[in-house]
Amino acid sequence: MKILVTNDDGYQAKGINILAEMMRQFGDVTVVAPKTHQSGMSMAVSLGLKPIRYKAVRHEDASSDGQKGSLDIAYLDATPASCVKFALDILYTDYLPDVVVSGINHGSNAASASCYSGTLGAAQEGALNGIPAIGVSLDSINPDADFSAVEQYFPAIFKKIMEIAAVGKTRRNEIQLKEKNGIYYNVNFPDLPADKLKGTRAGYQGDGHWVKEFIGWDPDFYIRHGVTPELLGQVSTPECEEGEKLYMMAGTFIDDSKDEPRADHHIMQDGYISIVAHNIDTTDYDAVAALDKLGFDTEFQHK
């Protein structure tokens, strides 16, 4: 199996390095991840006149006993979705990868966070190209978070998800799409030891919103959680022009799902791993039918 791994925390993050090593039990792993932190980028791509820098960082051969596939790690100075685009365009010249796995994200991507997530944006890019794709996250922003529960339970989750996806080498320009193209999976682990997890639950994207999202610039806000400016690829005291004021995003999450037990963030709160199937087709077909009934299916008469 050919496995493309990426993330939005950057190629040096602990989560992606654990994920890459974990996935070697399933095949050959190619990592193309952002050079610096790219959280909140969703499916944004790197455009403009700025050169996009790429560097191959490390290679390891497959193990002689066949227990581990090969490993290639590289960074791209770009968004997570652009990392996937680059890999598909430049590195996988003959065959597409069998799967895109994005993570392990430092922080939950449940509920409305999934709309902003660069981790899931990379998975979406895979799904957009007809490739099975999975985003996996742990509900801890600690750069040195304990991922042992993910290491223990994600491989079985991965195998089950791949059972329902069309897996196999896919020759470029002869893409064999799975039964319903555009599906990608959002897997979220609560920040619990492996022996405290209750199990897995399939659920829905939870409902919620953020308030008081902007605060005055305070780099210590993240440093207190171990997230340094260096990790973010930023400077702690940025320059600003005269008259400018500095802000940063933080905020408080408001839970709008009420008593919905299958909302993904409620599943996590109950001590379970949440698994949600998303689709890149965001059309609301019931609403489209309502538009038809309102008379939007019309023809203009031009003289």
pLDDT of residue 229 exceeding 80, the answer is no
Q: Are residues 84 and 58 part of one domain?
A: yes
300 domain residue, yes or no: no
47 domain residue, yes or no: yes
What's 244-270 look like in SS3?
A: CCCEEECCEEEECCCCCCCEHHHHHHC
295 domain residue, yes or no: no
Distance CA 28, CA 299 (A): 54
45 domain residue, yes or no: yes
181 domain residue, yes or no: yes
Q: Are residues 176 and 263 part of one domain?
A: yes
303 domain residue, yes or no: no
What's 176-224 look like in SS3?
A: CCCCCCCEEEEEEECCCCHHHCCEEEECECCCEEEECCEEECCCHHHHC
Tally the domains of the chain. 2
At residue 235, the pLDDT reads 58
Q: In the block, which residue shows the tokens 């365009």? A: 89
- Phi first, then psi: give them for residue 269, nearest 5 degrees: -60, -30
Q: Are residues 145 and 218 part of one domain?
A: no
294 domain residue, yes or no: no
Query: Any binding-site annotation on 142?
Result: no
* 256-284 residue pLDDT tens: 888 789 999 999 999 999 999 999 999 99
Question: In this structure, what CATH number is given to the domain that contains residue 263?
Answer: 3.40.1210.10
At residue 175, the pLDDT reads 47
At residue 92, the pLDDT reads 95
The alpha carbon torsion through 38, 209, 218, 233 (nearest 10 deg) reads 0
What burial class does residue 143 get, using C-beta atoms within 10 Å of its C-beta: 0-12 exposed, 13-18 middle, 19+ buried?
Answer: middle
Q: Are residues 227 and 99 part of one domain?
A: no
At residue 262, the pLDDT reads 94
* 129-157 residue pLDDT tens: 989 999 999 999 888 999 999 999 999 99
Q: Are residues 166 and 244 part of one domain?
A: no
Q: Are residues 121 and 240 part of one domain?
A: no
298 domain residue, yes or no: no
Q: Are residues 70 and 26 part of one domain?
A: yes
Q: Are residues 158 and 129 part of one domain?
A: yes
* 12-65 residue pLDDT tens: 999 999 999 999 999 999 999 999 999 999 999 999 888 999 999 999 999 999
Distance CA 52, CA 35 (A): 10
Q: Are residues 103 and 224 part of one domain?
A: no
Query: Any binding-site annotation on 181?
Result: no
Q: Are residues 237 and 101 part of one domain?
A: no
pTM: 0.90
Q: Are residues 225 and 162 part of one domain?
A: no
Query: Any binding-site annotation on 70?
Result: no
* 166-217 residue pLDDT tens: 544 455 555 444 445 789 999 999 999 999 999 999 999 999 888 888 888 8
At residue 171, the pLDDT reads 52
Domain that includes residue 61, residue range: 2-206+258-289
* 91-117 residue pLDDT tens: 998 889 999 999 999 999 999 999 999
pLDDT of residue 123 exceeding 60, the answer is yes
Q: Are residues 139 and 281 part of one domain?
A: yes
Query: Any binding-site annotation on 191?
Result: no
